[in-house]
Structure 1
Amino acid sequence: MLCVPFTAKRAFWVVCLCFSFILFPLPSYALTVQDVPNPQEEYGGWVTDMANILSPNTETKLNQMITGLNRQTGEEIVVVTVPETTPAPSLKAFSTKLFNSWNLGKKGILFLVSKSDRRVEITTGYGIESLLPNGQVSGIIQKEIIPQFRQGDFEEGILAGIKSVAIKLGGDVAVLQDLAVDSNNPANSNQQSGYVALGILVIAALVLPSFWYFSSLGRRSDSDIPSELGSETGAD
């Protein structure tokens, strides 16, 4: 008789516990600035895509443009995407803290995107403010980036934003898009491999016809020997 109320009580608390998980779920993973890999330290690039919203091709384009801008003007742009910035009080607060943590300096720019918020924060060093004042930064965000984000196209929004920033900083976008990051970039290695393969094909196209031609001459000279000679020698 004592087991019945005990079992019922335990079942009651199990149900209560289940409802508590439904009504008050465990907090999600809290992202800190220490969790964000610095792309310059990781692989010598400019892009950290923690939100997984950029294709390898887009990352390559961004790295190429920013490397080209750095070579032309000396400015550095770091692009970071994160799923969210909780528990930071705001995207701006998280961006400022990350900017200072990486010590991007007076000529540095942090281009931070929060996927869950569909927002971007551009933090600039004090040496950039004369070239890219807050009013122009706001205009780039509202006109070039946010419309793309609202359509769910993060890649085009980020590319458009970086291009606009590069233009404001005096970069030649037409040149930037053609510049490679370095000779060790996988994209460049593939391109160089393509050139090597093309060169081999050209050489083969020039050499093989000559080889076939002289080979055919040798076959024709052998066939010109009269077949009767062999039979006459055998008759003797």
Structure 2
Amino acid sequence: MSHLLRIPLLALLLTATLALQAQGLQAQEIDFPELTGRVVDRAELLDPATETRLSERLAAHEEATTEQLVVATLPDLQGVTIEEYGYQLGRHWGIGQEEKDNGALLIVAPNERKVRIEVGYGLEGRLTDAQSSAIINQTLTPAFREGDYARGISEGVAAMIRVLGGEPMDTRATSGTTSGITSGTPADEQGPQGPASILFFVMFVIVMSLVRGGRGGLLAGLLLGGALGGGSRGGGGFGDGGGFGGGGGGFGGGGASGGW
């Protein structure tokens, strides 16, 4: 390959690399709260006694089953949907055991009037999307409409534990008018789409061309490595000082959301 052709190809590769790095940074813009315990009440919806009771109940459930459930209340969703926030938060905290993916989150965002049950891979067979939606519609949102967040969250947690214990909710009683069942893999886990897929294709062609060009191939490899590194997510370091922490559980977007 001539030097005259290699220069514009390198420029295209650099452009694609920067675009992918920007895309990776955009996905990391959410400022997640610290995992300080089984109840992270950042929106200050719970009185101390209720928070203590919830924490003790969740700890007892984890001790008996190894399943890790966490409640998170948020002052705001930082401009993203509660589905995206919940999925990313579950991954960031690593709720559940890594080998079992047996974690779940109950997320409440009062300012946006949104609630979500985010379910790890390993619990999706019992805490299904339909069951999560039933808990939201029959237990959580009725209490939230009355402004009773403590009761709604407490009863919602109790319902989640019952369902996981083999006592499913009656999904026929769910109206389905305020909660949308959402499941499957979020967009950022489905592979490159739209402009991103074009960038990957361009990068592939450029790299294949430059690999045949000696030193140009080395530079292409360095740039490609930078692109892949720029979009990576750091692992969580939770429970500093021996406190509560996630076990590295995985999430794929299973669960349900609702509003009131």
User: Smaller-chain TM-score range?
Assistant: 0.5 to 0.7
Partner of 1:203: none
> Are 1:80 and 2:77 counterparts?
no
State the structure with more CA Rg: 1
What is the CA distance between 1:119 and its match in structure 2? 2.1
- What is the alpha-carbon distance in structure 2 between the residues aligned to residue 36 and residue 68 of structure 1? 24
* Structure 2 residue matching 1:38: 3-state secondary structure: coil
Identity %: 33
* Structure 1 residue matching 2:123: 3-state secondary structure: coil
Question: Considering only aligned residues, what root-mean-square deviation do their CA atoms show, in Å?
Answer: 1.9
Alignment of 1:1-236 (within 5 A): 33-39=30-36, 45-88=37-80, 90-105=81-96, 106-170=101-165
Structure 2 stretches lacking a partner, 5+ long: 1-28, 168-260
Amino acid at match of 1:57: A
TM-score by length of 2: 0.50
Amino acid at match of 1:74: T
TM-score by length of 1: 0.55
- What is the alpha-carbon distance in structure 2 between the residues aligned to residue 170 and residue 73 of structure 1? 9
Q: Deviations over 1:67-106 (max 9, x none)?
A: 1111111111111101110221x11111111111112241
- What is the alpha-carbon distance in structure 1 between the residues aligned to residue 112 and residue 141 of structure 2? 11
Amino acid at match of 2:129: N
Q: Contact 1:33 / 1:98 at 8 angstroms: preserved in 2?
A: no
Amino acid at match of 1:145: L
* Structure 1 residue matching 2:140: 3-state secondary structure: helix
* Structure 2 residue matching 1:84: 3-state secondary structure: coil
Q: Which runs of 4+ in 1 moved over 2 A?
A: 32-35
- What is the alpha-carbon distance in structure 2 between the residues aligned to residue 95 and residue 51 of structure 1? 15
Amino acid at match of 1:83: P
* Structure 2 residue matching 1:100: 3-state secondary structure: helix
When the two structures are aligned, how many residues end up with a matched partner?
136
